[in-house]
């Protein structure tokens, strides 16, 4: 995994602002299924991310699930999209038509335009900083934010548990067969361990005064500044540009239409 | 409520007819406790498992949960107030190092308690640094908490507790899961802290010798959750000796009644050997290389060494669970019974009747919903017929004293019972070699004796044993051959 | 009893055996379950999605059969924690973990988590957070499926698909939710209670028979 790739601008933005930027950028794109808005948004994003320091290698290393998912979503739309215009092929409910071809192209590009920014913006997010931002900037309830953060930190232990359990299955004589069953026993045991650990962690947190109604202070101040404002402006600008182009080109196709 | 304590004025504890019943239980965990601890007193709290020691500490820390978790009787007060109302007056360090690290960075973790008490930011960081100094953790504030050893994690938890400036320091078996070096680190840190702050101190622990010189008073709880002795440390230890021994407490000066290790006969056959081994959990990370060792048949070998020396990794490699990264593991023809002599190339089912491995954490091994079914896993995998399966399972249940618990869920057993069950799961397939990783971790004296006696019995019947352990008493009892991974090179000659 | 405690516990929350306020242990364990479910999603995002996409691409709407696993967070949260918002919190957190680690749906995952969690939450709320048996569990799973289907009409552009497809897809998603999230979730919680791991929760105290 390429975890240490630094990004210009993005790395200086509070994780909460990155979350907001991802939402501002992609939510408007969810309103329409058309290839123009998606292609404009994707094109601008790719140029900007390249300028921020995302190399093609990083793009593939971090974005491969999206790169795979996009054509698959397109194929589904190709076969079952609302039929319109000339029909080229049909089998039972599947019909490839002019309309479904256009929708398929639109959906493929749209998955990329919506999926990539989230992955790339969150590439270097530190969970502690995200939690600080969610509680201090976004003012979400601190009990829930910190509880979730502490719970998330146990993931490292879960990974060790998982490895030990896999070895123990071999020692118990059930290591060779029944992948599904073995996975099920391990997932269940992991859940048991997770809940046990979580219960103990809760006690440890309460022992340090966590969870009272008393207002808490923050040792680390979560800040926002001009890089945050800039990123949010860029996000809004891309969304506005993409939607405007689609309207201008006459391809805007609202999802509820 | 939520008042922040100024500095560390030692707290006074007063229990009057106090008791607690866990939700869903008929019996009270603690019953009519009358106890006054004066400011600055240092108390060692002893008693058998299930006597409610932890419950009392949790109640003092104000973390025993509300009405959803149980029912409270009488009164329990810190400086005349309900513990939940004076958060920060008492702070608690628990047993499990992994479950009390709260945040990802050392500094943040220590600061966490101060934040919750509403201490201003400018004051938090000096407090955090002072607390880290006090426990002797000389680490940068942004050091990752997951990279710490068990002893360091416990000292981190202690620092987090100290930064809150408590007048009452509560420790719940803080060293039970640590190796001797870790135990020493924690004990020294606590001693330093108490000498500086003069805080009132209550510790629960099975190993009396760790704390006896530090405490001024010993309190003993009985199996029924009532107070049975209270007084000067030496006096209580000597008058209550038998009660304490029966409760599983490690009383100083009373060694466990088990036979000592015996020398390995010179002409012993070797069952399993490692030749020029390089070991590691991942193929790109060699932990140790050039290790040679041999396990003589029907003898017990104990492998010791400092944290991170690769003891467990070596044991797993010898057990055919991890591939050697260099050199090879060779089984005797008698052990291999017609298979190739590299255990890593055996199938899971073939390994089962040749080498049994018992992991450090019993819960990593459980796959079934009852003790009985757990024991049947191996016979089933071996394809044994129903009659043989039933006979072997019954034998193991009786031998391990688990017949009463045959229908219990393995996860609900006590620590000692779980350990016996995992040993039983290995025995039921009758392997020639049994490998155990830290079998006495966190065991009280009674379960310790049961386990060591059981293992010696196996060796007497001809089983070859390899244990990883840091426990000196275990080495005395089962170290027929002692291999120390801390020494420069591990060679077969070390076996003599 | 509770002589000293009564004056400090907040008067607005009377001490009943069914306190709907979240304790710290509720929050932390809900978070742990959320994170663990999120990790399960990461696995299912590959395995389950392979089925989903193969079926989705080649058959009309049968991809929905695989959807249930993605809905299990809400059922687990509701059944174990038994507090208002638990189903929503667990499903949403699982979605956030899945999105932050990286998946094909990006920010959309969070909206899905929100919708699916609300679907399950609604059912537990209708039962007034008093019933946590098999029927509420399966209904919660089915409702989460219906919510997922509704959201996908918009965010996945499914409104542009044919009515036959949508009908079939709705049926499979709802059945999958009831079985793979509802029934399976209920079985898991029953198993967890038997291990004693839920001893600090009402869900575990109902089952625990040890004295």
Residues A173-220 have pLDDT tens digits of: 888 777 778 888 888 999 999 999 999 999 999 999 998 888 899 999
Chain C interface, mutation test: which of B16, B62, B64, B67, most C Cβ atoms within 10 Å? B67
- Assign A37 a pLDDT band (cuts: 50, 70, 90): very high
- Chain A residue with the nearest C-alpha to that of C169: A80
Interface ipTM: 0.87
CATH code for the domain in which residue B274 is found: 3.40.50.300
- Determine the Cα angle at A236 with ends A228 and A231, to 5°: 20
- Is the torsion defined by CA of C37, C40, C46, C47 positive or negative? negative
For the cut 60, the answer to whether the pLDDT of residue C13 exceeds it is no
Q: Across residues C28-42, what is the average pLDDT?
A: 91
pLDDT of amino acid B425: 95
- On whether both A124 and A21 belong to a single domain, the answer is yes
- On whether both B72 and B186 belong to a single domain, the answer is yes
pLDDT of amino acid A155: 83
A101: in domain: yes
For the cut 90, the answer to whether the pLDDT of residue A71 exceeds it is no
Residues of A in contact with B63 (CB under 8 A): 203, 206-207
Count of structural domains, chain B: 2
pLDDT of amino acid B199: 94
- On whether both B317 and B205 belong to a single domain, the answer is no
In this complex, do A171 and B367 lie within 8 Å of one another by their Cβ atoms?
no
Count of structural domains, chain C: 1
pLDDT of amino acid B281: 87
Domain that holds residue C92: 24-205
Residues of chain B with pLDDT under 70: 1-7, 487-496
**What subunits touch chain C, counting only 3 or more CB pairs under 8 A?**
A, B
Domain that holds residue A118: 10-128+225-249
* Alpha carbon of residue B116 to chain centroid: 30
C51: in domain: yes
B443 by DSSP, 3-state: which? coil
Q: What's the mean per-residue pLDDT of chain A?
A: 89
- What number of other Cβ atoms are within 10 A of residue A224's Cβ? 16
CA distance B253 to B256: 10
- On whether both A47 and A80 belong to a single domain, the answer is yes
Residues of C in contact with B412 (CB under 8 A): 194-196, 210
- On whether both A38 and A104 belong to a single domain, the answer is yes
B201 by DSSP, 3-state: which? strand
Q: Which of A28-32, A103-107, C44-48, C140-144 has the lowest mean pLDDT?
A: C44-48
Count of structural domains, chain A: 2
In this complex, do A155 and C60 lie within 8 Å of one another by their Cβ atoms?
no
- Assign C57 a pLDDT band (cuts: 50, 70, 90): low
For the cut 60, the answer to whether the pLDDT of residue A159 exceeds it is yes
Alpha-carbon distances of B44 from B52, B218, B273, rounded to whole Å: 14, 5, 46
For the cut 70, the answer to whether the pLDDT of residue C16 exceeds it is no
pLDDT of amino acid A4: 58
pLDDT of amino acid B1: 37
B6: in domain: no
CA distance B398 to A20: 63
C161 by DSSP, 3-state: which? strand
For the cut 90, the answer to whether the pLDDT of residue C2 exceeds it is no
- On whether both B241 and B305 belong to a single domain, the answer is no
- On whether both A117 and A146 belong to a single domain, the answer is no
- On whether both B230 and B291 belong to a single domain, the answer is no
For the cut 60, the answer to whether the pLDDT of residue A244 exceeds it is yes
For the cut 50, the answer to whether the pLDDT of residue C6 exceeds it is no
| B277 contacts chain A (CB < 8 A) | no
CA distance C63 to B269: 61
* Alpha carbon of residue B464 to chain centroid: 25
């Amino acid at each position: 995994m390429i975890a240490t790739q630094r990004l210009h601008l993005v790395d200086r933005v509070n994780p909460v602002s990155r979350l907001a930027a991802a939402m501002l950028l992609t939510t408007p794109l969810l309103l329409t299924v058309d290839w123009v808005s998606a292609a404009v948004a994707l094109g601008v994003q790719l140029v900007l991310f390249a300028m921020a320091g995302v190399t093609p290698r990083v793009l593939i290393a971090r974005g491969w699930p999206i790169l795979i998912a996009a054509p698959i979503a397109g194929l589904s739309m190709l076969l079952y999209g609302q039929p319109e215009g000339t029909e080229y092929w049909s089998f039972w409910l599947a019909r490839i038509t002019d309309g479904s071809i256009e929708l398929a192209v639109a959906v493929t590009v749209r998955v990329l335009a919506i999926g990539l920014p989230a992955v790339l913006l969150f590439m270097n997010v530190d969970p502690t900083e995200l939690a600080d931002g969610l509680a201090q900037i976004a003012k979400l309830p601190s009990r829930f934010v910190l509880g979730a953060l502490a719970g998330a930190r146990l993931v490292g232990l879960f990974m060790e548990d998982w490895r030990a359990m896999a070895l123990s299955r071999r020692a118990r004589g059930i290591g060779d067969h029944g992948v599904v069953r073995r996975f099920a026993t391990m997932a269940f045991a992991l859940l048991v361990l997770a809940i046990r650990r979580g219960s103990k962690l809760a006690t440890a947190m309460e022992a340090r005064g966590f969870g009272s109604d008393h207002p808490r202070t923050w040792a680390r101040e979560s800040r926002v500044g001009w890089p945050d404002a800039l990123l949010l402006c860029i996000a809004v600008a891309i969304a506005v540009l993409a939607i405007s182009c689609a309207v201008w080109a006459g391809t805007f196709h609202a999802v509820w239409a | 409520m939520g008042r922040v304590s100024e500095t560390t004025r030692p707290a006074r504890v007063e229990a009057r007819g106090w008791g607690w019943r866990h939700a869903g239980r008929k019996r009270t965990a603690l019953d009519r406790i009358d106890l006054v601890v004066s400011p600055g007193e240092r108390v060692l709290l002893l008693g058998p498992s299930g006597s409610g020691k932890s419950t009392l500490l949790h109640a003092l820390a104000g973390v025993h949960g509300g009405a959803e978790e149980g029912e409270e009787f009488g009164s329990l007060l810190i400086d005349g107030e309900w513990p939940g109302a004076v958060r920060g007056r008492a702070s608690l360090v628990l047993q499990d190092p992994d479950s009390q690290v709260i945040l990802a960075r050392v500094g943040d973790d220590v600061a966490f308690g101060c934040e919750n008490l509403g201490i201003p930011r400018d004051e938090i960081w000096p407090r955090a640094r002072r607390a880290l100094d006090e426990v002797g953790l000389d680490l940068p504030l942004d050091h990752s908490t997951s990279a710490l050893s068990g002893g360091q994690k416990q000292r981190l938890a202690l620092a987090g507790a100290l930064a809150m400036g408590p007048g009452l320091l509560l420790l719940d078996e803080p060293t039970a899961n640590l190796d001797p070096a870790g135990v020493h680190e924690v004990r020294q840190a606590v001693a330093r802290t108490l000498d500086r702050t003069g805080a009132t101190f209550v510790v629960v622990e099975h190993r009396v010798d760790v704390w006896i010189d530090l405490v001024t008073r010993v309190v003993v709880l009985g199996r029924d959750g009532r107070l049975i002795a209270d007084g000067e440390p030496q006096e209580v230890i000597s008058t209550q000796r038998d009660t304490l021994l029966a409760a599983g407490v490690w009383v100083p000066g009373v060694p466990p009644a088990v036979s000592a290790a015996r020398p390995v006969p010179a002409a012993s056959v070797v069952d399993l050997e490692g030749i020029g081994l390089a070991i590691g959990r991942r193929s790109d990370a060699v932990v140790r290389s050039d290790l040679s060792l041999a396990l003589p048949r029907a003898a017990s070998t104990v492998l010791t060494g400092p944290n991170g020396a690769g003891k467990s990794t070596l044991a797993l490699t010898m057990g055919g669970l991890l591939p050697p990264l260099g050199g090879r593991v060779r089984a005797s023809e008698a052990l291999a019974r017609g298979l190739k002599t590299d255990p890593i190339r055996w199938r899971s089912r073939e390994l089962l009747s040749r080498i049994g491995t018992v992991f450090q954490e019993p819960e990593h091994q459980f796959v079934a919903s009852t003790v009985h079914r757990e024991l049947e896993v191996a016979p089933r995998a071996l394809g044994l017929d129903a009659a043989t399966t039933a006979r072997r399972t019954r034998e193991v249940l009786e031998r391990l004293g688990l017949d009463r618990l045959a229908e219990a869920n393995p996860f609900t057993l006590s620590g000692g019972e779980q350990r016996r069950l995992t040993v039983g799961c290995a025995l039921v397939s009758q392997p020639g070699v049994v490998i155990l990783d830290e079998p006495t971790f966190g065991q009280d004296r009674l379960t310790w004796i049961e386990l060591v006696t059981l293992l010696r019995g196996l060796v007497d019947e001809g089983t070859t044993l390899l244990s990883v352990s840091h426990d000196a008493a275990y080495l005395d009892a089962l170290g027929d051959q002692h291999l120390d991974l801390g020494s420069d090179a591990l060679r077969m000659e070390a076996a003599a | 009893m509770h002589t000293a405690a009564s004056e400090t516990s907040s008067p607005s929350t009377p001490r009943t055996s069914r306190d709907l306020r979240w304790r710290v242990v509720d929050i932390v364990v809900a978070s742990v379950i959320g994170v663990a479910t999120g990790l399960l999603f990461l696995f299912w995002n590959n395995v389950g999605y392979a089925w989903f996409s193969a079926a989705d691409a080649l058959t009309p709407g049968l991809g929905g059969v695989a959807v249930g696993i993605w809905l299990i967070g809400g059922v687990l949260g509701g059944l174990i924690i038994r507090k208002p918002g638990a189903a929503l919190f667990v499903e949403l957190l699982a979605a956030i973990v899945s999105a932050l680690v990286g998946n094909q749906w990006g920010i959309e995952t969070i909206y899905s988590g929100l919708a699916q969690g609300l679907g399950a939450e609604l059912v537990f709320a209708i039962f007034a957070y008093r019933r946590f048996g098999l029927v509420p569990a399966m209904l919660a799973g089915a409702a989460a499926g219906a919510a997922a289907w509704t959201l996908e009409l918009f965010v996945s552009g499914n409104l542009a698909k044919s009515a036959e497809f949508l009908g079939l897809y709705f049926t499979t998603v709802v059945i999958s939710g009831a079985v793979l999230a509802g029934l399976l979730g209920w079985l898991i919680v029953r198993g967890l209670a038997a291990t004693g791991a839920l001893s600090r929760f009402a869900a575990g105290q109902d089952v625990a028979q040890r004295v």
